[in-house]
Structure 1
Amino acid sequence: MLKHLIANSPLLVLIFLTSSYLVAGQGRKPGSCRTDIQHLQSVNREDFEGIWYMHHGMTLDDPRDFRCRRMNFTYLYINADETGYRAEAFRIRNRGETPIVSVGSLKFPSNCGAQFRITYWPRANPGTGEIDWINLRYKVLTSHSVFLIIYACQNFESSSEHAELVWVYSRSCTPWRWIEQMYMDDLREKGIDVDQLYRIYHRECRNYEVPPRPAAPLLVIHI
C-alpha cells in the first residue's frame, strides 16, 4: 500500500470543521491559546482519507444543535507546494430533518506538517464572525487507523479570550468501547479537558444520504 506523507503547521481540526452558535463554557476561554500543544509532523494518506464520524467535540456549536455529523476526505493531488483533498461535511440538526451538506477544499501546505486549511463553497463557513475560518489553521493531533483528533485555536483581539476547538472522529457511527477509551486517554495526555467535550449520538441520520428531491408532478392531459 502506497504511503504519502503530508506536511506540517496549525489546522482546521474535525471536520471537523463546523460551528454555529456561541455557548458559554463551550470552546471560549479566558487567556491566550496554548503554545505547548503538540501536533503531528506528517499524516499518512490512507489513515486520513475516507469517511469519519464525529463523536466528541469542543467547538462554538450549541452541543444540543446536531445529532449527526460526518466528514469525508477524498485525496485529490500532491505537488511541491501542498497536498489537496476534497472535504464534504454532512450534518443534521436535532430540530430539523434536512441534511446540511457542505463541500470544500482542504489543503496541507508542504512546509507545515500535519496542519491544514479548509475553504467551503460558497465562501461562507458557518460559525461566529470572530473566528477567521478561511485562514484558521487546523492541527492533526492524532491520525490513527480507527480514530482522528483535530485541534484549532484562535485568540480574540477584541478581548482577553481565545477559542479552543476540538473534533474527535472514528470510522464507525458506534465505535467499540476500547476505541473511545483510546482517544479519551490520548486527549488527556495532550492536556485537553475531556469533561468539556460534548457528544454526537448519530440518531436518525438517514444513513447519511441526502434525500432525493420529490419527483415533479405528472402532467395529465385529458383528450
Structure 2
Amino acid sequence: MLKHLIANSPLLVLIFLTSSYLVAGQGRKPGSCRTDIQHLQSVNRADFEGIWYMHLGMTLDESWEFRCRRMNFTYLYTSPDETAYRAEEFKIRNIWETPIVSVGALKFPSNCEGQFPITYSETGIPGTGEIDWNNLRYKVLILDPEKLIIYACQDFESSSEHAELVWVYSRSCTRWRWLEQMYMDDLREKGIDVEELYHIRHVYCEDYEFP
C-alpha cells in the first residue's frame, strides 16, 4: 500500500495541545478551577524526550475530530531562563482523512517548575468564555517511562465557570489493559473524572509517514 506523504507546517511556537477548531462553550463547568491539583516540580529530560501517543483527552475540541495523535519531543537547549524542546505533532482529521503536522518549540521556564506556557495565535479575552491560550499554564501531572499526563484549567470570570483540560499520552499506541489501568488510577488519584475523558483512535496510522 502506498504511503501518504505529510508536509511539515513550520510554526513559530508549537500549538500541540490546542487547535484552531476550538469551539467556545464546550467543556465548560460550574465553579472555579481547583487549587489543590499537584504537579511535578521538575521534568526529567530522558523520560520526556521521544515519541508519545495520545490515548485520552478532555478538551474543548470535538472528541471525534482527530485520530492517530502523536507527539515527538527532541531536546534543544537549557539556559538559565528555560529548557526548550523541539516538538512535532502529527494527527489525522477523521472527516477528510487529512493529516496535519505542526513543528515548533515547547519551553519550560526555570521559575515555572513542571509548568509551561504556550503562545497561541489567537488570544482569548478573559471573561468572554474563550480560553486565553497566551496565559494558560499547562501542568505536568505524571511523567514516567510509560506515560505522560498534562493538565490545564482556566476560570471564566464573567460566568463563574471554568474549563478543565487533560491530555494522556503513552509510549505505545496500543491501549494495553495493564497500561490503561495504570493511567486511569493516576487520574483518579488526582481527582480527575475519567468518565469525561474521550479516547483517541489509532487505526491505520501506518498508512501515513513523514517525507
Q: Decide whether aligned partners of structure 1 residues 200 and 42 sit closer, same or farther in structure 2, where only a CA change above 3 A counts.
A: same
In the TM superposition, what are the counterparts of 1:1-223 in structure 2 within 5 Å?
17-19=17-19, 20-22=21-23, 27-119=27-119, 123=121, 130-206=130-206, 208-210=208-210
Task: Provide the rounded CA distance (Å) in 2 between the counterparts of 1:115 and 1:207.
Answer: 35
**Structure 1 ranges of 4+ moved more than 6 A:** none
Structure 2 contact 24–129 (Cα < 8 Å) conserved: no
3-state SS in 1 of match to 2:181: helix
Shift of 1:105: 1.5
Length-normalised TM-score, structure 2: 0.83
Give me the TM-score of the superposition, normalised by structure 1: 0.79
| Distance 1:102-1:158 versus aligned 2 partners, 3 A rule | farther
Contact 1:29 1:161 (8 Å CA) reproduced: yes
Task: Provide the rounded CA distance (Å) in 2 between the counterparts of 1:32 and 1:77.
Answer: 36
Q: Which residue of the partner structure matches residue 218 of structure 1?
A: none
Measure how far apart 1:111 and its partner are.
1.4
How far apart in 1 are the matches of 2:129 and 2:69?
22
% same residue = 77
Sort the Cα spacing of 1:161 and 1:203 in 2 relative to 1 into closer, same or farther, 3 A: same
Higher mean C-alpha deviation, range 199-208 or range 90-99: 199-208
Provide, for residues 73-115 of structure 1, a one-character-per-residue CA deviation record: whole Å limited to 9, x for no partner. 1110001111011111111111022211112221111111111
The structural deviation recorded for 1:206 is 4.0
Secondary structure of the residue aligned to 1:111 is helix
Aligned counterpart, 1:219: none
SS at match of 1:133: coil
1:208 and 1:33, CA in 2 relative to 1: closer, same or farther beyond 3 A?
farther
**Cα displacement (A) at 1:208:** 5.0
Contact kept, 8 Å, 1:151 with 1:165, in 2: the verdict is yes
| RMSD between aligned residues | 2.3
In the TM superposition, residue 35 of structure 1 has moved relative to its aligned partner by 0.3
Work out whether residues 16 and 102 of structure 2, in 8 Å CA contact, stay in contact via their aligned partners in 1.
Answer: no
Cα 1:38–1:207 shift into 2, 3 Å: farther
Rg larger in structure: 1
CA contact (8 A) 1:105 1:119 kept: no
Length, aligned pairs only: 193
State how far apart, in whole Å, the 2-side matches of 1:77 and 1:191 are: 34
Distance of 1:155 and 1:97 partners within structure 2: 34
2:10 corresponding residue in structure 1: none
